[in-house]
A and B are shown apart, each in its own frame.
Chain A
Amino acid sequence: MNQLSVLINGMPLLLRGLAVTLKLGVGFIALGLVLGLLLALGQIYGNRVVRGLCSGFVQIFRGIPAMVLLFIFYFGLAHLNINLSAFVASMIAMGFRSAAYQCEVFRGAMQSIQSGQVVAVQALGMNLLQRIRYVVLPQSLRYCLAPWSNEFAAEIKDASLCYAIGVTEIMRQGRYIITATFGNAMFIYVTVALIFLGVTSIGLWLLRRWELRLQVPGF
């Protein structure tokens, strides 16, 4: 009974935290998508300088743990008198990190596009931008959907790391409930876990349906 009332009273807080978690997760993915796509295009079509910069970026943000990145962008920058809110610092650090991972996904997909088709539309008179827009991107984005749903789940889950720099997302709300009710740690954290499970499961299911809808015979 006691636990049920804790749950009922605490749920609004948890859901408020979930909203923040989702905002973070979706934000990371969105920033990662745009930037990741640009990085991939830079690595494939850019000159040596551009390629080097893009590869460098990817290497750095894939090689440093998320927690360390968060601390650098929040505490580190503050030390240099650049004061970002925890939310913004999270968005930048994790968004860049997601970009690095998504870039690799896009790059793999783009490079596996049959170059014959690109040559064929080149022979029609399409310039580079048109070739990318009408052949390379539509096809590589389709190839991307499967590995991309991995990335989606990862970002939603990694949003919980932002707990460490003080963002009031679902983990922190859970913590508040536990301290306020003097216990129930297992119960609350399992509830948080189930909420995450629910969100990622629904998200993956939706992405799978989208993937099936975009499927084209012979692809």
Chain B
Amino acid sequence: MKLLRVEDIRKSFGSLQVLDGVSCELEKGETKVIIGPSGTGKSTLLRCINLLTKPDSGRVWLDGVEVTDPKTDINHLRSSIGMVFQNFNLVTHLKVLDNVRIGPMRVKRIDKKCATDLALEKLTRVGLSDKVGSYPAELSGGQQQRVSIARALAMEPKLILFDEPTSALDPELIGEVLAVMEDLAQSGMSLVVVTHEIGFARSVADEVIFLENGRILEQSPPEKMFTEPKHQRTQQFLHKITHLYGHESRAEET
């Protein structure tokens, strides 16, 4: 059974058709990267997976449970889907440790001692065990993003969604975040990542999906996608991106 199944999602905001029949699947342990021009519904697609945005039509299944079914306990389901946001979205009045353990404590109702141990374990994993007593505003962007990854990990999710996790970071901080993500992918976590980081996609993704105008134009393994894209539009887009970033593989640099 596939871990994630997305079937024919459609979503429009007013007169703008953002998603126009998108379907895809994910096996456990796979990493899929979604690329495409801005405003083509990439973030919306991610948000439809954990129902932060309700699709107009179409269905989503996580591990056999239908997410889009109104009878499903969506909060229970969301606790097994992690999400990392472009703007980190850490709770600003809580210290780092509290940010990471609030999910296990309040949503999963794990007792404080276990939740704290869990949080410390995840913070160590992302390399921030020395920042547990700091407030989010005292950290750099890259550190904040790593904390938000630890926050997602602390829920021990089946799947983590990344919505342009490095787009709001200064260039020199992107590497540390991508390194954590690569480590997650390699240790068997299932990831769906929306990003412009082609280098990351090339070295970590099992499949790359090119989304344009609310539709999947092309999807293939990274070697195929980046060396022989089928469509001209894909080629044009990739050209633009590599021109912007002008590098081979940022993930490999770290």
Contact = CB atoms under 8 A, between A and B. Distances in A.
A68 interface: no
Contact of A125 (B79, B93, B136): B79
B78 A117 contact: no
Contacts of B50: 123
A65 interface: no
The dominant DSSP class at the A interface is helix
B138 interface: yes
B89 A120 contact: yes
Nearest to B104: A124
A135 B138 contact: no
A139 B76 contact: no
Contacts, number: 74
Contacts of B90: 117, 120
A191 B87 CA distance: 56
Interface string B43-84: 000000010100000000000000000000001111101110
A122 interface: yes
A138 B106 CA distance: 15
Interface in B118-173: 135-138, 148, 151, 155
B135 A123 contact: no
Nearest to A127: B75
A137 to B, nearest CB: 11
Given A127-B75, A219-B137, A120 B91 contact: yes
A218 interface: yes
A125 B102 contact: no
Contacts of A134: 91, 102, 106
B10 to A, nearest CB: 22
Contacts of A218: 92, 135-138
A122 B89 CA distance: 11
A125 B91 contact: no
Contact of A116 (B87, B102, B137, B155): B87
Given A116-B87, A134-B102, A216-B92, A124 B135 contact: no
Nearest to A120: B89
Nearest 7 A/B pairs, CB to CB:
A218-B137, A125-B79, A120-B89, A125-B78, A123-B83, A116-B89, A124-B103
20 contacts: A116-B85, A117-B90, A120-B83, A120-B85, A120-B91, A120-B148, A122-B78, A123-B50, A123-B52, A123-B78, A124-B103, A124-B155, A125-B77, A125-B79, A125-B108, A127-B75, A139-B92, A216-B92, A217-B137, A219-B137
